[in-house]
Amino acid sequence: MTSSDFPDIAAVLFDAYGTLFDVHSAVAHEAGALGDQADPVSQLWRRKQLEYTWLRSLMRAHADFHQVTADALDHALAAHGIDDRELRERLLELYLTLNAYPEVPDTLDRIRAKGIGTAILSNGEPRMLTAATDSANLRARLDDVISVEPVGIYKPDPRVYELGAERMGVSAGRIAFVSANAWDACGAAHFGFQVIWLNRFGATPEQLPGTPKATATTLDDVADLLGC
């Protein structure tokens, strides 16, 4: 697949967590305190974080992503028999400044150099997204940082993707959407975006409505696919 497969792209929307930011970097900073429980805690934290967004959406019981993240961490720590309030607070603080993947700044610069708009469309609440983008020095590389909070529901609800198109002022068919989360990639493709699934770790595709147009393994590949 080449850039000719993505004609007339006016904007690129990026998922944040897992796509631009390493969701496991918070626990990595506290690996000494967690020992051999670090990876299991981090994996369960992430899994419950996602599950709670879907379940709260179905329950019509929205809470912002910071609350969801805290609830998921509490579950992960309890499941591993860890009762350490100071560690919990450090992990939540670290989640505000997750490490960006190393190729992120260059990818954004390459896309913007082609005159294509760039933005984040994320489950994250505004304070979290501001902290993360500022910490990684990405804010000037983005035209917008879009949170789900105005619609009060999480991806893959189509209202979230519609919000992204509205904020960018671009029709869905002229937006490339990039996510490392396969379920998010499917949801965005089902909505009508031209989707690149960023399959960093060789995951198995999901059996869901919506098929990504292309698959990449790094953000460098995404820029190549877009002809940037």
Q: Let me know whether 85 and 104 are in one domain.
A: no
What is the distance between the alpha carbons of residues 175 and 165, in angstroms, rounded to a whole number? 8
Q: Tell me the pLDDT of the chain (228 aa) as tens digits.
A: 555 689 899 999 999 999 999 999 999 999 999 999 999 999 999 999 999 999 999 999 999 999 999 999 999 999 999 999 999 999 999 999 999 999 999 999 999 999 999 999 999 999 999 999 999 999 999 999 999 999 999 999 999 999 999 999 999 999 999 999 999 999 999 999 999 999 999 999 999 999 999 999 999 999 999 999
Number of domains observed in the structure of the chain: 2
Q: Let me know whether 14 and 67 are in one domain.
A: no
What is the distance between the alpha carbons of residues 72 and 85, in angstroms, rounded to a whole number? 15
Catalytic residue among 8, 15, 74, 220: 15
Q: Calculate the CA 113 to chain-centre distance.
A: 23
Respond yes or no: is residue 71 known to be catalytic. Answer: no
Q: State the pLDDT at residue 2.
A: 52
- Closest to 129 in 3D by CA, of 62, 176, 65: 65
Could you say which of 49, 67, 95 is where a domain stops? 95
Q: Which domain holds residue 168?
A: 3-22+98-225
Q: Let me know whether 29 and 18 are in one domain.
A: no
